[in-house]
């Protein structure tokens, strides 16, 4: 965060509180379903998306109830911007290939991130969440995942209101790649002796 001129302490505290809305119904979030039946199995895709999206509004309500400062509430509001809940959106499209889709039912209400700190929170949150689906990724898989997620946020214009440059986004991109490789303990693969011969 310091490398891009951001407030590291603010970003850290915002990151700690950004998902407090999940406490209202933790069972709807994959990270809490290890030994539980997935409640989304009994819901329509639009209903599932609504349950996921609600963690933002519930988080803002909780933050206000407990007197968190507006600076931190902004992280809760903006960490998904106006992005889509992709899994349920794509699932809906598979089930309804010729049907009309109200994309608004699958989008977070926003607003989009407006600062370096909230933009970084969005990027880190999306990378962390998506990386959970990887079993034992190699270096290339991690890099491709991070590039796809960050490029997707840029294409969806989620960072257009943020006070962050492309150079700074690429610094964050490279830091995330390094961090995720260390989390997954990815090591450089050396050619075997047979491959050399």
Residues of the chain with pLDDT > 70, as a percent, come to: 93
Distance between CA atoms of residues 77 and 73, nearest Å: 6
Q: Beta-carbon neighbour count of residue 65 at 10 Å?
A: 8
Across residues 72-87, what is the average pLDDT? 97
**Length of the chain, please?**
197
Sorted by where each begins, the domain ranges of the chain are 2-186
CB 21 within 8 A of CB 64: no
The two tokens of residue 36 are 């539980």
Interval 94-127: pLDDT, tens: 999 887 889 999 999 999 999 999 999 999 999 9
Interval 127-175: pLDDT, tens: 999 988 888 888 999 999 999 999 999 999 999 999 999 999 999 999 9
What does each C-alpha distance from 99 to 42, 102, 165, 188 come to in angstroms?
Answer: 21, 10, 39, 47
CB 53 within 8 A of CB 79: no
Q: Which residues of 134-159 are buried (b: 16+ CB within 10 A; e: fewer)?
A: eeebeeeebbebbeebbeebeeeebb
The two tokens of residue 155 are 């294409």
The two tokens of residue 160 are 């257009």
pLDDT at 183 over 90: no
Find the largest Cα–Cα distance for the chain: 68
The two tokens of residue 90 are 């794509």
């Amino acid at each position: 965060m310091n490398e891009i001129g951001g407030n590291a302490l603010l970003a850290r505290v915002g990151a700690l509180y950004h998902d407090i809305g999940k406490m209202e119904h933790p069972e709807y979030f994959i990270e809490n379903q290890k030994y539980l039946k997935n409640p989304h199995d009994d819901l329509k895709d639009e209903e599932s998306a609504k349950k996921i999206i609600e963690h933002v509004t519930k988080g803002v309500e909780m933050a206000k109830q407990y007197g968190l400062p507006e600076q931190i509430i902004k992280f809760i509001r903006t960490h998904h911007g106006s992005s889509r809940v992709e899994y349920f959106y794509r699932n809906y499209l598979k089930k309804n290939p010729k049907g009309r889709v109200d994309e608004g039912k699958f989008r977070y209400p926003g607003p989009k991130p407006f600062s370096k700190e909230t933009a970084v929170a969005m990027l880190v949150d999306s990378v962390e969440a998506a990386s959970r689906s990887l079993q034992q990724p190699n270096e290339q898989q991690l890099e491709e995942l991070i590039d796809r997620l960050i490029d997707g946020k840029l294409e969806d214009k989620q960072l257009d209101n943020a006070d962050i440059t492309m150079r700074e986004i690429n610094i964050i991109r490279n830091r995330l790649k390094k961090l995720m490789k260390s989390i997954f303990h990815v090591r450089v693969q050396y050619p075997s002796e047979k491959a050399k011969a």
